[in-house]
Amino acid sequence: MTDQALALESETPGIPGRPTSASRTTLSHIMTHNDTNLLGTVHGGVIMKLVDDAAGAVAGRHSGGPAVTASMDEMVFLEPVRVGDLVHVKAQVNWTGRTSMEVGVRVLAERWNESTPASQVGSAYLVFAAVDAEGKPRRVPPVLPETERDERRCQEAQIRRTHRLARRRAIMELRERRAAEGITD
């Protein structure tokens, strides 16, 4: 176990960590005319739903129970997806906190009837919160990075978390200042 993995495991005492590979998954779906937008390519919302579905499966597997989407960061569409493309949505847990986890997702597409390699057409980062039967947050096991790539993804996820928290604080401070000045929206 790497030093990073040991540090992450110590953040959630009493809950054994789970390796990245334990919950990694791929969801594949062929795109049809029902998935298109007005331009004739696959609607971004269809891809986002596949991303959320795959990430939700990974979060539930990793946490050992229900997990809900808390936020989606940096959904990037790199290339259009077309009718007849076989889309592969690959997801894994990058980082875990006490009750939340970041799931990284890569979206690949290939023509259903060609033997060319799939190309990356999108990516996203989602934050999930593990919940109990009453919908209250519950603790999650730490993720144990297994490779150098997993380690890098974990470190990058921590940077994104720091930025999310700083952005939230800055917005709340701005709202409080505006309210103190009597400015209402």
Residue 73: what pLDDT?
A: 86
The 3-class secondary structure across 127-175, one letter per residue, is EEEEECCCCCECCCCCEECCCHHHHHHHHHHHHHHHHHHHHHHHHHHHH
pTM metric for this prediction: 0.87
d(CA 58, CA 74): 18
pLDDT tens over the chain, length 185 residues = 444 444 444 455 678 999 999 999 999 999 999 999 999 999 999 999 999 999 999 999 999 999 999 999 889 999 999 999 999 999 999 999 999 999 999 999 999 888 889 999 999 999 999 999 999 999 999 999 999 999 999 999 999 999 999 999 999 999 999 999 999 87
Q: Which residues are paired to 143 by β-bridges?
A: 18
Residue 13: what pLDDT?
A: 61
Phi-psi region of 48 (alpha: psi -120 to 50; beta: other; left: phi over 0): alpha
Residue among 25, 12, 48 at smallest CA distance from 121 = 48
Residue 6: what pLDDT?
A: 41
Dihedral angle at the C-alpha atoms of 163, 3, 65, 162, nearest 10 degrees?
Answer: -10
